[in-house]
Amino acid sequence: MNFDLTEDQLMIQQAAREFAEAEIAPSAVERDKKAEFPTEIIKKLGELGFMGMMVSPEFDGAGLDAVSYVLAMIEFSKADASVGVILSVNNSLVCYGLEKFGSDFIKNKYLRPLAKGEKLGAFALSEPEAGSDATQQATTAFKDGDHWVINGMKNWTTNGTSADYYLVVAQTDKEKAHHGITTFIVEKGTEGFTHGAKEDKLGIKSSDTCSLMFENVRVPEENIIWEVGKGFNFAMNTLNGGRIGIASQAVGIAEASLEASIKYSKQRKSFGTEIANHQAIQFKLADMAVKIENAKLITLKAASLKDNGKKYVKEAAMAKLYASKIAVECALEAIQIHGGYGYVREYLVERYLRDAKVTEIYEGTSEIQKIVIARDLLKG
């Protein structure tokens, strides 16, 4: 077994780290306070190829492997987890899904600008009454000539107000249950398609999350991804990769928590010495480091399986389950190490906790990840 990263992977990691430190981290606190979308940063990330990292160059992507994607995602999320989720949705859910399941028409018209970062994508599966139980789609679409007509509502859509293209899952034949679900691409500005206000969230405040409303929205037949009745399978397949992205985001938050804790514990003094010299603090730092190493390894393993064309459903779920759990734990420990200073906005660590919590919720809650893992184990 070889744990060494390749030259290319190290280069991507370094490039992402330099960009994150120079361009993302300095303004992260302000953006969080103002709940401001990082428009300029996303534009620059697009120009550098980070919005379509795993898309092949044939469709204007960077052609990177999933391991490089994880490494870059960790660096960006370490600086600002909001940037992390914007990237994760565009790369893992939208671009990956379109390249793997889209027609040539879809790849040329929609994937190319998404991969170049000229357009932004969103993934609309969840609904007010269909979150974990994603088969219960109340949004419907019926065929009318060479178009489909969508009616319904989606919520918790990341990139909801900023996106240009939306992958929208809808029930097209209720009798066929999940085999009667279809996914469509809907362009912003299509008549009858509107979005709600940005949600006022606990964390990842500079990523925009909102509801989407569809009132007789007409979409051409060629905007169907994969085929009619494959929409649920499409969503499940893309979410596997999405979970690697969110696991990476969580690792990034945990690493940021540890780095802040190391820095602070070398500066802060108590009982006549830097608190880093107290075992109580050293044990916390050691525990955080072990958890982060484990989370990173399982996330990279899931990515490596994906790169090698092997099954990675269980490993992606394990990575998300574990990395999100330890991101919350590490952020909490970072606050504890900072004492009262950890509880105020002046220091970064309270944001890490607010940002970490959602990684246990979106793209499948921790409870859903356990179902995915257990089903795989019981399959025999």
**What backbone torsions phi and psi does residue 48 show, to the nearest 5 degrees?**
-85, 0
Residue appearing with tokens 């606190």 = 29
CA–CA–CA angle 149, 154, 158 (5° rounding): 125
Q: Indicate whether 178 belongs to the interface with ligand CAA (CB under 6 A).
A: yes
Torsion sign (Cα): 25, 27, 30, 35: negative
Q: Indicate whether 300 belongs to the interface with ligand CAA (CB under 6 A).
A: no
Min dist CB 179 to ligand CAA, Å, is 6
- Site mask for ligand CAA (CB under 6 A), range 142-171, x = bound: --------------xxx-------------
Q: Indicate whether 132 belongs to the interface with ligand CAA (CB under 6 A).
A: yes
Please state, as a whole number, how many other Cβ atoms lie within 10 Å of the Cβ of residue 19.
20
Candidates 72, 83, 225, 372; binder of ligand CAA (CB under 6 A) is 372
Q: How many residues interact with ligand CAA (rule CB under 6 A)? A: 24
Residue appearing with tokens 């996303």 = 42
Q: Any idea which residues carry the catalytic annotation?
A: 363
Q: Indicate whether 240 belongs to the interface with ligand CAA (CB under 6 A).
A: yes
Q: Indicate whether 183 belongs to the interface with ligand CAA (CB under 6 A).
A: no
Spatial CA neighbour of 376 closest among 333, 322, 328, 317:
317
- Provide the token pair at 37: 């979308």
Nearer Cβ to ligand CAA (77/158): 158
Residue 78 near residue 253, CB atoms below 8 Å = yes
Min dist CB 178 to ligand CAA, Å, is 5
Q: Which amino acid is at 160?
A: G
Residues for the chain: how many in total? 380
Residues within window 63-92 making contact with ligand CAA, judged by CB under 6 A? 89
Min dist CB 237 to ligand CAA, Å, is 5
Nearer Cβ to ligand CAA (172/261): 172
Min dist CB 372 to ligand CAA, Å, is 5
Spatial CA neighbour of 96 closest among 129, 59, 68:
59
Nearer Cβ to ligand CAA (294/366): 366
Candidates 74, 239, 254, 326; binder of ligand CAA (CB under 6 A) is 239
Query: What is the C-alpha to C-alpha distance for residues 338 and 261, in angstroms, rounded to an integer?
Result: 7
Candidates 210, 228, 313, 328; binder of ligand CAA (CB under 6 A) is 313
Spatial CA neighbour of 52 closest among 6, 102, 110:
110
Nearer Cβ to ligand CAA (239/260): 239
Query: What is the C-alpha to C-alpha distance for residues 154 and 258, in angstroms, rounded to an integer?
Result: 36
Please state, as a whole number, how many other Cβ atoms lie within 10 Å of the Cβ of residue 277.
14
Chain centroid offset of residue 337 CA: 28
Min dist CB 268 to ligand CAA, Å, is 37
Min dist CB 239 to ligand CAA, Å, is 5
In the Cβ-directed half-sphere of 346, how many Cα atoms lie within 13 Å? 5
Span between the terminal Cα atoms of the chain, in Å = 26
Q: Indicate whether 237 belongs to the interface with ligand CAA (CB under 6 A).
A: yes
Query: What is the C-alpha to C-alpha distance for residues 78 and 205, in angstroms, rounded to an integer?
Result: 15
The piece of 42-50, 96-104, 237-245, 279-287 that touches ligand CAA (CB under 6 A) is: 237-245
Nearer Cβ to ligand CAA (249/261): 249
Q: Indicate whether 130 belongs to the interface with ligand CAA (CB under 6 A).
A: no
Return the bridge partners of 316, or none: none
Candidates 77, 126, 206, 223; binder of ligand CAA (CB under 6 A) is 126
Please state, as a whole number, how many other Cβ atoms lie within 10 Å of the Cβ of residue 196.
16
Q: Indicate whether 134 belongs to the interface with ligand CAA (CB under 6 A).
A: yes
Residue 108 near residue 222, CB atoms below 8 Å = no
Nearer Cβ to ligand CAA (350/360): 360
The piece of 7-15, 95-103, 128-136, 256-264 that touches ligand CAA (CB under 6 A) is: 128-136
Residues in contact with ligand CAA by the rule CB under 6 A: 89, 123, 125-126, 132, 134-135, 156-158, 178, 232-233, 236-237, 239-240, 313, 362-364, 368, 371-372
